[in-house]
Amino acid sequence: QWLANLGLLQRSVDKLIDWPPISGQWDGPVLWLRGENSDHVQPGDEAIMRDYFPAADLVTIPDAGHWLHADQPQAVAQAIGEFISRS
């Protein structure tokens, strides 16, 4: 049975919740999906993400939370399919 290493996660939480320092960019295509009802993407996150991935395509999946693939599997599949077709 797999168990999360809660002690390690607790000791590392400061490193896990922040963005790593920028050491470069990827200018290629990136699909960034977020759920409309998720609070994991904060208002300032898009600007930070674009520092790493300037060509990122941000798609918000309606009526989905953080587990958007479980909440709206058809919408997620459609967004991925459209992205692949364009890339």
Span 29-51, pLDDT tens digits: 999 999 999 998 888 889 988 98
Domain that holds residue 57: 24-86
Total domains in the fold of the chain: 1
Structural domain includes residue 56: yes
Structural domain includes residue 79: yes
Structural domain includes residue 9: no
Under the banding of pLDDT at 50, 70 and 90, the label for residue 24 is confident
Give the predicted TM-score (pTM) of the model: 0.73
Residue 33's nearest CA partner among 25, 41, 42, 23 is 41
Structural domain includes residue 40: yes
pLDDT of residue 6: 86
pLDDT of residue 10: 86
User: Is the backbone of residue 39 left (phi > 0), alpha (psi -120 to 50) or beta?
Assistant: alpha
pLDDT of residue 15: 76
**What 8-state DSSP symbol labels residue 59?**
E
